[in-house]
Amino acid sequence: MTPPGNLIDGRAIAAQLQAELLQRIAALKSRGVQPGLAFVRVGEDPASKVYVGRKEKTCAELGIYSETRVLSESTSEADLLGLLAQLNTEARLHGILVQAPLPSHIRQEVVYATVLPQKDVDGFHPVNVGKLMLGDATGFKPCTPAGIQELLARANVKTDGVEVVILGRGNIVGKPMAAMLCQKARHANATVTICHSATRDIKAHCRRADILIAAMGVPEFVKAEMVKPGAVVVDVGVNRISDPGAKTGSRLVGDVAFAEVQPVAGQITPNPGGVGPMTIAMLMQNTVRAAERVTA
């Protein structure tokens, strides 16, 4: 599904995945079940509002029931946990997503552990994290790394035996991405290196990579000289930088200096239009899976 040139079109691949989901959703509805997803947002972070809005829109397009609960920035951890306990009991809701970031007084790990594993469509509950590490396919995988794996598979990128370098060791992308790609499984079976802020000579590691995944949150960190000619480059970063020429005075860039890296790469994801649409598509897929399990 690679478009002309060397771009991996995340929007087109996500649209293909969503078209497949429409058939599964129709099958569920024929049995009287509509997949349901709850979004919980704490505070008025502008980016969070945009992200939840996009997810709500996709739910509406696919025929997935959704509802959004918005709590104030000052909401206590106990009140948030109480809301999650209530949502856990609602049969209409097959999935629950708590939008990050959360206010500093709320412990993220406690929140993720409160959502029932079978409704944890974000893939962050300790049970689902454990299943991921064990290669147990019955768990839910975090949406962004799962989306990247699906993106690579549908773009016909070989992973078996190749060198993958992941820039970033976060719990949302870096660590789960490494766990997925090193499994002895289809669309995996790679040799994986994780680089981070304490890694010596990151450039040398990057130059060795057949697949380079940038997820460290540093604007345009990956330069052309860091990329092996012909490598596949996946840009996960979303960073706002100052740009006096822009109407808003700023613009969004990825972790890859796209203009200079694209001519070197064999295949590369655009940003936007690469990983982002796949993250949402995988969230929808996890929600549909959660609903299918209830009716199995």
Question: Which of the residues are catalytic?
Answer: 55, 99, 122
Distances (CA, A) of 181 to 163, 164, 216, 265: 10, 8, 18, 20
Q: Tokens standing for 231?
A: 């490598």
Residue that has been written with the tokens 């070989």 in this structure: 158
State CA 176 to chain mean position distance: 10
- Tokens 């989306």 locate to 147
Amino acid at 199: T
Rounding to the nearest 10 degrees, give the CA dihedral for residues 220, 2, 178, 217.
20
Map residue 270 onto helix, strand or coil.
coil
Q: Strands (DSSP E) along the chain, which ranges?
A: 36-42, 65-71, 95-98, 163-167, 191-195, 211-214, 232-235, 239-242, 250-253, 267-268
User: Identity (one letter) of the amino acid at 238?
Assistant: V
**What are the angstrom distances between the C-alpha of 159 and each of 72, 203, 210?**
44, 21, 9
DSSP state of 226: G
* Alpha helices (H) along 115-251: 126-134, 143-154, 174-181, 202-208
CA 49-274-41 angle, to 5 degrees, is 15
d(CA 68, CA 142): 20
